[in-house]
Structure 1
Amino acid sequence: MAKKPYMKLTGMMLLTAALLSACGGGTGAGTGAGASATPGAQQASEAPKASAKPAETKSAEKIYIPVISKGFQHQFWQAVKQGAEKAAKEFDVEITFEGPETEAQVDKQIEMLQAALGKNPKAIALAALDTKAALPLLQKAKSANIPIIGFDSGVDSDIPVTTAATDNKAAAALAADKMAEAIGKEGEIALVVHDQTSRTGVDRRDGFTEEIKAKYPNIKIVDTQYGGGDQLKSTDLAKAIIQAHPNIKGIFGANEGSAIGVVNAVTELKKDKIVVIGFDSGKQQIEAIRSGKMLGAITQDPIGIGYWAVKAAVQSLKGESVPKTIDTGFHWFDKTNMDSDEIKPLLYN
């Protein structure tokens, strides 16, 4: 009988020890001996989650707009990029700006457009090198309710919501008038154009050619060549034109690379009397005009083109009214006005 109280006491002690052990195990996970360190540990482990969560939410909510240009090598496209980035900052959207190495790489641009669609953008801004090649992907974007904004050359299709660009036909017609005036409204001339597949290539070629044919019957266009906007190729083409037509009086280069190619050809062949007129307004053309190797050129507003491409995308996504075309303007510049308050801001290095 004496053993019974002892057994009860022992049982109670064992039960107490088990309960203490269980409490101690729980305490080790959150309170108890580790209590003074635990709040710090919790802050350390939870703080990153707290700071990361808003960042993830912001990134998820931020509008993403890929901007796909026709190229990246010319200063013109760097100026367009500057304008696009300005708008992205102003409207708090995320953009990427890319283009193929040369304006002849249609397949490369199509790959970029395909990759952009794969990132589920809210809208896409595109300066198409070849509208026909891009159409299947543009249709895919339309089916996914992704607005397409054309810029610079735009897209020859009804799919784009709007196009932010120069009136290239009117601009090229002005270049034709300046050419006619410079050569006394008679003689042989030629064109070196960047391509015959983009809207800018077609419109600048046609705008120049149609103006000459309509207004200057004594001027003959003897050749039109396409150099892909590449300076070296355009140089070779211009040299071939000059050699085939020794009496040629003037050559129009329809974009930055084309125009510099013509200047190089005239310089290498020492044919300084040939009138060279360009399009765009990068550093090399500015220097050529100052030196007298080029009479003048048409300047666009590349920063404005990039800015409006992104702004129009944002407006479209907000359901705001956007005009079908956004005319970003153009001007003729030469030695007489290139340092004026109106023209100087439109020239770029």
Structure 2
Amino acid sequence: MNSNSSRCRIFQALLGAAAVIAGIGTVPSFAAEKALLWVQPMRDHPVHRLMQAGFLAKCKELGYTCEVVGNPSATNYDVSASIPLAEAALARTQFGAVAVYGPGPEIFPYIGKLGNEGLPVVTWHVLPAEGSVPGLKAATGEDIKAAGANAADAMGQKLGGKGTIALTQGSSNDTENVMSDSFRAEMKAKYPHIKILDTQMEGFEPSAAESKAVGILQANPDVTGAFSTTGNGVQTWSGAARKAGRDVVIIGMDYIRQNLDIIKSGAAYGLVAQPLYEEGAKTAEIGAALAEGKSVPYLNPLPAKVITAADLDPYYKILDSAGQ
């Protein structure tokens, strides 16, 4: 608690207490600034930018000034490089609440630190159990287990209940691990004759991910389907199938424009329409409520269905509205 923002919060609290004792009312609270901070490592990933677009649009609607910080990369998830940027923002602006992207435990201590400094924190895209992350007041995002099960149902039906599926993740994290586990469980329960290969990490660098997928196809000539739990997975697997000369039923994640275009072209079958823009908007809504001292539910899940070529128009419109 030695940052400028921490000292300002302590000083403001002391002024408020003194004002009450003196009978002259209260000093406007931190929330009077109507400002929210969004902290997101790997800030420039296209999926992350779509989340940010929803956040900033809702901030504007609510009359809040909002700032987005994080290491400026589309491929490197770097918590240690993002925290100093967040601290610099906190030192210059009195934020009423902070949104922290928290898909893994490496950023949980920072959430706890913010909570200890009196700042309400909300996360999105993951739904940690209540009380499991000290300092976290609320979480919003897709129902991760349902999303994995929905992907398995769509894949199983398309494959006719037979075949072999390659399963890849961007990295090992709370979101993708749960989704993969849910995919496997649903497939085992409903399509027991479909084989699923061991999960492999494709990473976030596009060319390396595609090379890994090509290697999987070459090593496994029986693969007829591929499910990726990361935002670039549609691009990874459609490129790999093309290079390997294989016909693969591909389901990935996220309605970024490149992915919609690939689905539209027929190079991939479908994707889980994670409510990315909606998550950002809901995060702003929850953050504003917390900043104003209101009570909010801890868990705020959002639906995520699988969409195919016939379902794309509404998602193109979301991207258009977000300027993407």
Distance 1:279 1:60, change over 3 A: closer
Match of 2:95 in 1: 121
Instruction: Return the letter of the residue paired with 2:34.
Output: I
Is 1:86 the equivalent of 2:61?
Answer: no
The TM-score with structure 2 as length reference comes to 0.80
Match of 1:176 in 2: 152
Distance 1:233 1:105, change over 3 A: farther
Cα distance between partner residues in 2 of 1:282 and 1:166 = 16
Cα distance between partner residues in 2 of 1:127 and 1:155 = 12
Structure 1: 5+ residue stretches without partners: 1-56
Cα distance between partner residues in 1 of 2:82 and 2:160 = 42
Q: How far did 1:347 drift? A: 5.3
Instruction: Return the letter of the residue paired with 2:291.
Output: L
Cα shift readout 1:75-101 (whole Å, capped 9, x = no counterpart): 322222221112222222221113331
Cα distance between partner residues in 2 of 1:229 and 1:202 = 16
Q: How far did 1:275 drift? A: 0.8
Cα shift readout 1:179-219 (whole Å, capped 9, x = no counterpart): 1111121221111211212x322222222122122322111
Match of 1:186 in 2: 162
Match of 2:39 in 1: 68
State the identity as a percent. Answer: 25
Q: Is the 8 A contact 1:113 1:137 kept in 2?
A: no
Is 1:136 the equivalent of 2:123?
Answer: no
Instruction: Return the letter of the residue paired with 1:178.
Output: A
Match of 1:228 in 2: 203
Q: How far did 1:113 drift? A: 4.5
Instruction: Return the letter of the residue paired with 1:263.
Output: S
Match of 2:23 in 1: none
State the secondary structure of the residue aligned to 1:260.
helix
Higher relative contact order (CA 8 A, sep 6+): 2
Q: How far did 1:293 drift? A: 0.8
Cα distance between partner residues in 2 of 1:205 and 1:113 = 31
Instruction: Return the letter of the residue paired with 2:222.
Output: N
Distance 1:153 1:64, change over 3 A: same
Is 1:246 the equivalent of 2:221?
Answer: yes
Q: Choose the corresponding residue for 2:274, options 258, 283, 300.
A: 300
Q: How far did 1:110 drift? A: 4.1
Match of 1:167 in 2: 143
Q: Is the 8 A contact 2:96 2:288 kept in 1?
A: no
How many matched pairs?
A: 287
Cα shift readout 1:101-122 (whole Å, capped 9, x = no counterpart): 1253343334444545555633
Match of 2:181 in 1: 206
Match of 1:267 in 2: 242
Cα distance between partner residues in 2 of 1:98 and 1:303 = 17
Instruction: Return the letter of the residue paired with 1:247.
Output: D
Q: How far did 1:224 drift? A: 1.2
Q: Choose the corresponding residue for 1:99, options 70, 73, 79.
A: 70
Distance 1:327 1:103, change over 3 A: farther
Is 1:215 the equivalent of 2:190?
Answer: yes
Cα distance between partner residues in 1 of 2:295 and 2:127 = 19
Cα distance between partner residues in 1 of 2:236 and 2:171 = 14
Match of 2:12 in 1: none
Instruction: Return the letter of the residue paired with 1:337.
Output: D
Q: Is the 8 A contact 1:103 1:129 kept in 2?
A: no
The Cα RMSD (Å) is 2.4
Cα distance between partner residues in 2 of 1:110 and 1:262 = 33
Q: Is the 8 A contact 2:50 2:277 kept in 1?
A: yes
State the secondary structure of the residue aligned to 1:185.
coil
State the secondary structure of the residue aligned to 1:141.
helix
Distance 1:204 1:118, change over 3 A: farther
Cα shift readout 1:298-336 (whole Å, capped 9, x = no counterpart): 112222211111110111122222111112322221112
Cα distance between partner residues in 2 of 1:208 and 1:87 = 32
State the secondary structure of the residue aligned to 2:77.
coil
Instruction: Return the letter of the residue paired with 1:175.
Output: A
Q: Is the 8 A contact 2:31 2:291 kept in 1?
A: no
Instruction: Return the letter of the residue paired with 2:296.
Output: V
Cα distance between partner residues in 2 of 1:150 and 1:218 = 38
Q: Is the 8 A contact 1:231 1:258 kept in 2?
A: no
Instruction: Return the letter of the residue paired with 2:166.
Output: A
State the secondary structure of the residue aligned to 1:256.
coil
Deviation above 6 Å: which 4+ runs of structure 1? Answer: none
Q: Is the 8 A contact 2:31 2:95 kept in 1?
A: no
Bigger shift: 307-316 or 214-223?
214-223
The TM-score with structure 1 as length reference comes to 0.75
Match of 1:147 in 2: 120
Match of 1:289 in 2: 263
Distance 1:347 1:255, change over 3 A: farther
Instruction: Return the letter of the residue paired with 1:80.
Output: M
Q: Is the 8 A contact 1:301 1:346 kept in 2?
A: no
